[in-house]
Amino acid sequence: MYIDSLRIKTGAILCTCFLMIFIWGCKSGSGRRIYQEAQIQMGTLAEIKLVAADEKSAGTAFEAVFSEVERIEKIASFQLSNSELGCINRAAGKGPVSVSPELLQIIQQATYYSGLTEGAFDITIGPLTKLWGFDTQNYQLPDPDEIQRRLTLLDYRAVIIKLKPPEVKLAKAGMSIDLGAIAKGYAVDRAVTVLKQYGISDAIVNLGGDIMAIGRKPDGRAWKIGIQHPREKERVLASLKINNQAVVTSGDYERFFFVQGERYHHILKPQTGWPAKECQSVTVIAQEALAADALATGVFILGPKKGLALIEGLKETEALIVNAAGEVSISSGLKDKLDFNQ
Ligand code: ADP
Ligand code: MG
C-alpha cells in the first residue's frame, strides 16, 4: 500500500470545516485498486473505500457520492433550520407543508419502524433532543417537569401524511421531527445506489458508524468490519465479513455526559423522555442501512429481551446487543458469523 495523493479542501456546507481527503491505492493482481476518501458530512466522518481501475473514475464517483450525502443533509437535517425538514417543524400546529416525495418517503418509513418497535423509535422526539441539547454540543440535564411537559408533544401518530400531493403536517404546535436516528442510514443507502450508477460494484461506505459494503476487495476477500467495544474506545468487540449488507450501531458512548457519576446519552425513551438504560450498544445487520439504523435505535430502547425477539422475527436481519452489564447477546443467524478473536 502507498499513498497516492493528499489534498485538503474546504466543504461547501460546513464552510468553516476542513475536509481531509486522501486517496490511496492498494495494488492487486487485476490492476484494480482500493481508493479511499473521507470528508466531514452530516456532522460526522464519512469514509468511502471503493475499487476502481484508475484515480479518475474513483474521483468522479467520490464527487457524486459526497454531493449526494450533502443533498440529503439539506433535505433531512434537524439542525439546519433551512432544511426541508425545518420547514415542516416550523409549521407545527399550523397547516400542512408540501414536501418532496423523498422526504415524505423517509418520514413514512420512520413511522413504519415506530409501529414495529411499539413506539420505542419515534422521530417526534425533536422537542426532547433539543431540551437535552443533543442537537448541539451543549448538553444539559433538564428540569424533570419540563421533560414531563414536552412528553405531550411526542407521538408519531400525530405526523399527518398525505401522499398526493405530498404533504406533511404536525398536529400540535411545538412538535418537531428529528430524523437523527434514520437519516444517516438513508444517506448510506443512497450513497451505495450512486456508486452503482457510476459503475462501482465493490465498495464500503461508512457514515459515522453506519456502514454498508457491496462486492469484495480487489483480492477477492470480503470486506471486514469491526464492531466497537462500547466501553473501550480502541477495542474491537467482534468482527464480521459483509457483502451487500448494512451494519449500524447505536451506542450510549456517541453523545453523552456524566452528572454525579451517572451517564446521560442521546438515545431517549419516548415514553419517559430520559435516556434508555437497558443497553450499552446495539448493532443491527440488515439489507438496507435505513432499516438497520432505525432498528438499532429502536432495539436499544426496547432492551435486549424485547429487542432480540423483534429481530428474530424479521427476515435477513440480525443483531448483536451489549446490555447494561456489558453482556453480549446475539441473534440466531449471526452466531457463527462473528469473530471474537481480536
Ligand atoms: P447515532 O446518531 O449516534 O448513530 P442513533 O442512530 O441511535 O445514533 O440516533 C440517535 C439520535 O436519534 C439522537 O441523537 C436523536 O437525534 C434521535 N433520537 C433519540 N432518541 C430517539 C428515539 N427514541 N427515536 C428516534 N430518534 C431518536
Ligand atoms: Mg439509528
The predicted pLDDT at position 228 comes to: 96
The whole-chain average pLDDT of the chain stands at 92
Torsion, Cα 45 46 52 55, to 10 degrees, reads -60
> What is the tens place of the pLDDT at every residue in 216-232?
999 999 999 999 999 99
Place of cell 432499516: 291
Please tell me the residue having the least CA distance from ligand 1 atom 1: 250
Q: Is the CB of 122 under 6 A from ligand 1?
A: yes
Please tell me the residue having the least CA distance from ligand 1 atom 27: 181
- In which band, very low, low, confident or very high, does the pLDDT at 108 lie, cut at 50, 70 and 90? very high
Pairwise CA distance, residues 259 & 295, whole Å: 29
For residue 178, the ligand closest to its alpha carbon is 1
Check whether the bond before 96 is cis (ω within 30° of 0). no
Pairwise CA distance, residues 257 & 140, whole Å: 8
**Residue pair 228/249 in contact by the 8 Å Cβ criterion:** yes
For residue 301, the ligand closest to its alpha carbon is 1
> What is the tens place of the pLDDT at every residue in 269-304?
999 999 999 999 999 999 999 999 999 999 999 999
Pairwise CA distance, residues 39 & 247, whole Å: 20
Q: Is the CB of 77 under 6 A from ligand 1?
A: no
The mean per-residue pLDDT over the stretch 90-98 comes to 97
The predicted pLDDT at position 342 comes to: 79
Residue type, 242: I
Biggest CA–CA distance in the chain, Å, is 64
Q: What angle (nearest 5°) sits at the alpha carbon of residue 259, between those of residues 254 and 262?
A: 70
Rg (CA), the chain: 20
The mean per-residue pLDDT over the stretch 99-127 comes to 98
**Residue pair 283/296 in contact by the 8 Å Cβ criterion:** yes
- In which band, very low, low, confident or very high, does the pLDDT at 30 lie, cut at 50, 70 and 90? low
Neighbours of 27 (CB within 10 A): 13
- In which band, very low, low, confident or very high, does the pLDDT at 7 lie, cut at 50, 70 and 90? very low
Give percent above pLDDT 90 in the chain: 89
The mean per-residue pLDDT over the stretch 244-255 comes to 97
The mean per-residue pLDDT over the stretch 91-95 comes to 96
Q: Report which ligand 1 atom has the smallest distance to the Cα of 126.
A: 16
Query: What's the 55 CA to ligand 2 centre distance in angstroms?
Result: 33
Query: What's the 255 CA to ligand 1 centre distance in angstroms?
Result: 10
The predicted pLDDT at position 105 comes to: 98
- pTM as predicted: 0.92
pLDDT of 60 above 50: yes
Q: Is the CB of 250 under 6 A from ligand 1?
A: yes
Query: What's the 64 CA to ligand 2 centre distance in angstroms?
Result: 24
Q: Report which ligand 1 atom has the smallest distance to the Cα of 255.
A: 3
